[in-house]
Amino acid sequence: MFAQTFGSTTLGLNGIFITVEVDIANGLPALDIVGLPDTAVRESRERVRAAIRNSGYEFPSRRITINLAPADLKKDSSGLDLPIAIGILAASGQIPCDVCQQYLFVSELSLEGKLRGISGILPMAIQCVEQSIHHMVVAPDNIQEALLVEGINVYAPVTLGQLVSHFRHMAMLSAEVKHSVDNILPATSEDFADVQGQSLAKRALEIAAAGGHNLLMVGPPGSGKTMLARRLTSILPTLSQQEALEVTKIYSIADLLHHHAGLVTTRPFRSPHHTISGAGMVGGGRIPKPGEVTLSHHGVLFLDELAEFPRMVLEALRQPLEDGEVTISRVNASFSYPAKFMLIAAMNPCPCGFLGDADQECSCSSSDIKRYRKKISGPLLDRMDIYVNVARLEYNELINTVPTESSLEIRKRVAIAREIQYQRLHKHNIFCNAYMGHKHITSSCHMTTAAQMILKQAFSKMNLSARGYDRILKVARTIADLDQAEELTEIHIAEAVHFRNNMQELY
């Protein structure tokens, strides 16, 4: 007897529709799964057999052949357990065959027949709608994630037995209802009001947040570079609906969504250790998974102690920083992951950390300093928009009790600047100044005559590349947006040049 059910798996960031075909024929008892099943799928034979028996149903003692179509695509999801089990029950006549084809089944099965949550439910639910299937069965842990997609009825039985009773019209399941569950990434309690002094660094971070720019902080140990960076998310605007869906999809694939969680509304902040591998940074593996650059999409990637990261890992950042995506090629397929993130980096000026410090003398030789700085290549530095020196605080600054500007106040200015950028650039599918192309810069960055003269002098004196020229204009455009100014004046250009000028010391 033959039956057909539908399941799903993921490929990159997309859901893939899988047709599960089950044939039960006379012959020696056997269960064969064909259609390029991976280890997790091959092992489903034992899980499905135990789950059916422990749920009180008969597992056929005949020859069972299961085909997973399309047969040329490798399947690696344990979420195919449920469609396989339902297919066997339908082919053996224990539940109606025709009703099963109106549902998409996605869940792992325990040996006692309980449904377990899996990763990647959101892209699978999107694929369900695209295939014009309006009913989806998931585990209770995946309810809220599946309900993020409009146009489908989501059912979440606790056990296989409950689902079978539903198909037999013995105890009907009710479609789940969406609850308001957001902010699944832990929101930061850090506030810029806690930071004394460092007005220049705060200004640099405000500009970076307003325009989505990359920023490099250089200073001695204990000057507050890490503390400042960790407060950046407190002044970033909330994610738009489109951005939130993109981030949630990524975290669903990476299995980083909390159970029973909904849409991600806070911007990601990722801070990998400097021992990270290249695959961990940009993504990879036998079956490629998103790396830190993708997990930072629409958020912040913070690299503390930048010079301690392996040279290969840092160089791998150059292409994602330029293109906003990363492509990973393997024998079977090529995967493209989004990677539009703000790179915030911090480093010491030398190996001992005290070069240029007013109170403590540097113990490094010139060759040591040169070798240390050579760890950061010129092309990578050229992709940084803002450079700021972070000096150690004086005693009087540390004990100062005068309240400083809070994150909420800074965030209001950032939100206004972002809205101005959105109104100007959304027709080009660009949401912040950092991702403007040259043609967008030409049309958006109108300068006064005095501003043009300052930029011309800076171009010659600093030996700017074309990329460096564009990045100064983009930062100046953001400064003007913070001032709510249409035209770039000499003040905007001068401040943007100032934030890039000191970077020449590191080349």
Averaged pLDDT for residues 65-85: 92
- Confidence category of residue 34, pLDDT binned at 50, 70, 90: very high
**Whole-angstrom Cα distance, residue 121 to residue 362?**
54
Q: Which pLDDT score is estimated for 213?
A: 97
Check whether 185 has a pLDDT greater than 60.
no
- Residue 188 is predicted with a pLDDT of 54
Confidence grade of residue 250 (pLDDT, cut at 50, 70, 90): very high
Average pLDDT over residues 243-259: 89
Report the pLDDT value the prediction gives residue 287, as an integer from 0 to 100.
74
Say whether pLDDT at 417 is over 80.
Answer: yes
Q: 70: cis peptide before it, omega within 30°?
A: yes
CA-to-CA distance for 488 and 494, rounded, in angstroms? Answer: 10
- Confidence (pLDDT) at 76: 84
CATH code for the part of the protein at 192-408: 3.40.50.300
When pLDDT is averaged across residues 479-483 and rounded to a whole number, the result is 97
Delimit the domains of the chain by residue range.
2-167, 192-408, 436-507
pLDDT tens digit string along 346-379? 999 999 999 888 888 899 999 999 899 889 998 9
Residue 171 vs residues 20, 87, 100, 163, 166: alpha-carbon distances, Å: 25, 20, 16, 9, 5
Residue in the block written with tokens 């004196």: 461
pLDDT the model gives residue 358 = 80
Share of the chain above pLDDT 70, in %: 95
Q: Region 297-321: what's the mean pLDDT?
A: 95
Residue range 244-270: mean pLDDT, rounded: 87
CATH code of the domain made up of 436-507 = 1.10.8
pLDDT of residue 187 exceeding 60: no
Per-residue model confidence (pLDDT) at position 127:
93
Tokens 């993504």, residue?
A: 283
Mean pLDDT across the stretch 232-260?
Answer: 89
Q: What CATH architecture is 2-167?
A: 2-Layer Sandwich (3.30)
Statement: residue 184 has pLDDT above 50: no
Quickly list DSSP for 215-259: EEEE--TTSSHHHHHHTGGGGSPPPPHHHHHHHHHHHHHTT-SPT
In the prediction, which pLDDT does 186 show? 46
d(CA 316, CA 133): 41
Which range in 184-193, 297-306, 393-402 is most confidently predicted, on average pLDDT?
Answer: 297-306
pTM of the complete model: 0.90
**Band of residue 332 on the pLDDT scale cut at 50, 70, 90:** low
Average pLDDT, the chain: 91
